[in-house]
Structure 1
């Protein structure tokens, strides 16, 4: 049986893949998830196995109301326990307030806030049994930066804001079991690929507005997540920690 097991959603590339790599030394079992990128997920899995980590890969859509339960069930069946959840999977909806529809807004909430709620609810009974139970969600700067010189994502912003509130509420619920729940909020991060995200030109333009003068790397965010999962972070809960180079100082 593994000593410590984590689920990481959205782990085929970017922040999720970088987080998995950060955990190779401190976790013996990883359940890594992607919606449909089987090849990317397998590349991360091969790295994990090479580092001596037992890994389970799972494909599925977190907007499916039953998938969170299924993911947790597969994790527990494979490893016999579950200690940590990193809810990284999510997506932006690149539409203005006028362009967006109610269906777009509902989809944003389903993919970003409701999916986290469902996954955390399924995982909670098992994480409560861990000596170092941890839940970390990944938010977005779009819920905090509202300026005319940076693109506005009203639908994503609303759903990611709801995610942060859910994190705080869950932190209160799980505190009595010694489980911590936090949110890491990336700024402008250089992705492994730019599909469904900003263009290279737009990222360059946004970088000019960052006090540290560069876009973040997935590893920058993964480092914060890794710390929050560690025993050293046992007295940090209900917090939203920005990793954004000072974007909204």
Structure 2
């Protein structure tokens, strides 16, 4: 049996795929989740196997209320248990409040905050039986960045702020057995061809507002997730680590 059993959601591209690569190693078994990009998930799984890990691909639409619990159960069955849950699935919506429909706002909440809630509720008892168990949720700088010279993402910001609040509540509820933390990426490069909330000129303008003067790379964020998911992070809980080049200070 693998010594580290890990479920990563939203792992077909970007930060999720980079997280799979950062965590993959001999003795690690990974459940690689995607909503509908099976090809991307299979590529992530193949990369993990090349690094000596075991990897299984699992598909689920986490906006569906029943899907998170089913995904957790399938992952635990495939891996023989669960030591780490990385909740990464989500998307960005920059629609102003005046233009947001009830359905669009609810979709952000269901996909981001609702999915974390349901995943955590299902995974909690399983993680508690694991070795050095961890939950790491991916938040976003948009929950902290409200400036007149920056794009605001109302629906996404509300959902990600909820993620960080839920992380703190879970950290208290699950202590001392399971640590629960969040990582908040800043402006991060997208995979070629992937949907982006900003266009080319807007990305260039953004760099001037980042103290480190560059966009983040998925690997930058994945390294922070991998640390918080590791046994070495056993005395950290209820925290949000910003990986954003200083855009939120």
TM range (shorter): over 0.9
The residue number in structure 2 matching 1:95 is 95
CA RMSD of aligned residues (A): 1.2
Residue 170 in structure 1 maps to residue 170 in structure 2: yes
- Cα offset for 1:61? 0.6
Give the corresponding residue for 1:104.
104
5+ residue gaps, structure 2: none
Q: Which residue of 1 aligns with 2:40?
A: 40
Distance in 1 of aligned mates of 2:52 and 2:142: 37
C-alpha distance in 2, partners of 1:58/1:106? 25
- The count of aligned residue pairs is 248
Contact 1:38 1:59 in 2 (8 A): yes
- 1:36 is paired with a residue whose SS is coil
- Report if aligned partners of 1:6, 1:27 keep a CA contact under 8 Å in 2: no
- Cα separation, 1, equivalents of 2:26 and 2:3: 9
Matches of 1:129 and 1:60, distance apart in 2 = 24
Q: Structure 1 runs of 4+ off > 6 angstroms?
A: none
Does the 8 Å CA contact 1:91/1:196 hold for their aligned counterparts? no
Cα offsets for 1:162-205 (capped at 9, x unmatched): 1110010001011132x100000000000114415222221221
Instruction: Provide Cα deviations, 1:131-171, integer angstroms capped at 9, x if missing partner.
Output: 31000000011110001111111111111111110010001
Give unmatched runs, 5+ long, in structure 1: none
Hey, what's the Cα distance between the residues in 2 that align with 1:248 and 1:3?
36
Matches within 5 A, 1:29-68: 29-68=29-68
CA contact (8 A) 2:209 2:247 kept: yes
Q: Give the TM-score normalised by the residue count of structure 1.
A: 0.96
Residue number in structure 2 paired with 1:227: 227
Are 2:86 and 1:86 aligned?
yes
**How many angstroms apart in 1 are the aligned matches of 2:157 and 2:111?**
12
Cα-to-partner distance string for 1:9-56 (whole Å, 9 max, x where unaligned) = 010111001010011126520001111111111111111122221111
Instruction: Find the counterpart in structure 1 of residue 28 from structure 2.
Output: 28
**2:119 alignment counterpart:** 119
- Partners in 2 of 1:23 and 1:122 — Cα distance? 22
Is 1:17 the counterpart of 2:17? The answer is yes
1:184-240 CA distances to partner (integer Å, 9 max, x unpaired)?
000000011441522222122111100001000000000000000111110000001
The residue correspondences of 1:172-211 to structure 2 (distance < 5 A) are: 172-177=172-177, 179-193=178-192, 194-211=194-211
Could you tell me which residue of structure 2 aligns to residue 5 of structure 1? Answer: 5
Supply the distance in 2 between the matched residues of 1:212 and 1:27 (Cα, whole angstroms). 36
Question: Against the structure 1 CA distance between its residues 159 and 26, is the aligned structure 2 distance closer, same or farther, given a 3 Å change threshold?
Answer: farther
